[in-house]
Structure 1
Amino acid sequence: MMRLFSPRKTTLMFVIRDKTRTPLENLEPVLREDIQKIWDSVSKPQAHKETPLSDFFNVANLRQRFFHSIAPGGLAGDRRGVVPASGFLFSAQQIWKVIKENKDLDLPAHKVMVATVRCEEIANEKYAGFTANESWCLLEEAVQSGPVAGFGKKLNSILYSCLSEYDAEVAYFDEGVRSSKRKLLEEKLLQLVQPAHNSMLGHLRFGTLEKFKAAFEKALNDGEGFSVAARNCTESYMALFDEGYEDAAVELSNWDSSKVRDKLHRDIDAHVDSVRAAKLSELTSSYEANLNEALSGTVEALLDGANDDTWPSIKKLLQRETESAVSGLSSALSVLTWMKMQRRRC
């Protein structure tokens, strides 16, 4: 039986029912004597044959310790060795099981075991509560169809609320156990909400790209140079994406947005390249048409009045008009080519 006692003293409290008119000071010696008899009858190892009851149990001055129960030295002043009320039933069942099996009762290990079971149960309850949370369900549904303003703030609030509830319910369990179970709960919650966050980033990337296309086209139509328009719009809308990402950020996570950001940058570059290709085709066709127009009428007139100088004249005309067209086209293309080289260096 001595194996069940730990070096930390246990407080014994007795409730006297049906108290008679006998004064308490007369009842106390009788109660103490009965307790001492019980202690004397306990089989003890040789080393504890003469060990007094007070070495293992608090048997004096209980009234003051009860009145000041939460003060240091009070009945509840030292909470390191106690089990929270929510875990008492399970704790008592396990203690009784050990007693019946006559095993060594390791209270520190028992406390960790109780904390492990209860913290895990509480974490599972909070996870289930989160999945059924109306605010989360509405947010998850909304982000499937489009971007949600303040997505990060709303999701962070729901997550922190869930974790705060967990923290409140496990506050008196073993610190190491409750911390490890909290971390697992965080991981499960983040795994649950990540698809919604990815959807939000997808909407953000697509929306930013569409805004870039519209702004780029408007800048070109307003007469802004191709390279300037491409550079300014790219910088502006990449910054806009970064702002949107900050708004959608989940504070508990360390998710990397670089892949989504890089994809957006590639999409913007691809669009700029497609517009450039269209501009190149348009310019080439325009200069070809101008060259044909410049040559056709003059060449036809020269041929109508053909003489010994006709072919040399046609040759000079072709060379002059071709050089003029090439010069004009080269000048127009230089801006597009320069912009492409600049982006490749970046």
Structure 2
Amino acid sequence: MPKKTIKLEELASLLGGELLGDGNVSVSGIRDIEEAGAGDLAFIMRRKKSPFLLGTKASCVVVPQEIKESPVPIIKCKSPNLAFKKAVELLMPDYLPHPAGVNKHACVSSAARIGKNVSIGANTIIEDGAFVGDNTIIYGNCYIGNESSVGESCVIYPTVTVREKITIGKRVIIHSGSVIGSDGFGYEQTPAGHAKIPQIGDVIIGDDVEIGASVTVDRGKFSHTRIGRGTKIDNLVQIAHNVTIGSNCIIVAQCGISGSVKVGNNVMMGGQVGIADHMEIGDNVLLAAQAAVMKSVPPNTIMWGKPARPLKKAKAIYAIIDKLPEIYAKLKFFEKKFGLPRSIPNTPGFETKDKGNGRN
């Protein structure tokens, strides 16, 4: 496929940026600034990376607006990241190949409904009563279960499983290895062992959601597990049965959301956040990485730590942790000096060399 070439003057206009340099220079590709050569467009996302301009061989670099000069042509943009998105659409519209039409090795039920301009890869199975909307791409080795619906303009990457009676909105992206609609983890303890409880609900995923690789979204026990419009989920996230996640949330890798949790809108979770079952997380909450959420969180709160506490309180607690051996030594000294009962038993690792003055 021939490369698409564009002059910098036109490119700057399309990116909404300010060009400093020769507008007649052309670019036809996008590469990392350290690897770029003639004809390549490169990017600097942050001002602190500006020294890379001195050694680059790129024909042009898109930079933040604060950068004032450069030995090579630059296009100054308010958001280099959004400019990168636009540049890829302009210069590399077909950067990601996908199946064309329905592969002869796909297994599509005659009782399934397939929209216009749909691509389905080899070995993908589409079951009875399933629906696939217009312009959707489903790569190879996927499974779409009975009576499930995949909206228009979705992208389902290889080895994704969408179980039965699942509803997926428009423009949803699901990456490889993810499972939508697996059974919730529900058991009743009996003398004979763990009795499996049926999970007869479903999953509803809103428009413009993106789900990373190897994510599991369990189906509801009675009703729905829901993911709201525009929410973005990173790799290796577990979402248990009956969970409701609001709109425009960000959930980073390795988070675990227990059953029946309700997450509001615009919530952000750092990596490895864990939320106990039946908690409620209000709108605009930020859960820092590895926060262990054991209580419900009101809106507009930043939580940090294990267990998770409001940020100000958590910082105050963590500030004294390193001082605990010294505090412990002083406490022992005064208990002994005044004949007070010992409040803390002897603890290995907290002994002090200087027992006379209670200091480390």
TM-score (norm: length of structure 2): 0.19
Would you tell me which structure has more strand in proportion to its own residues? 2
Q: Whose helix fraction is larger, Structure 1's or Structure 2's? A: 1
Structure scoring higher RCO (CA < 8 A, sep ≥ 6) equals: 1
Larger Rg belongs to? 1
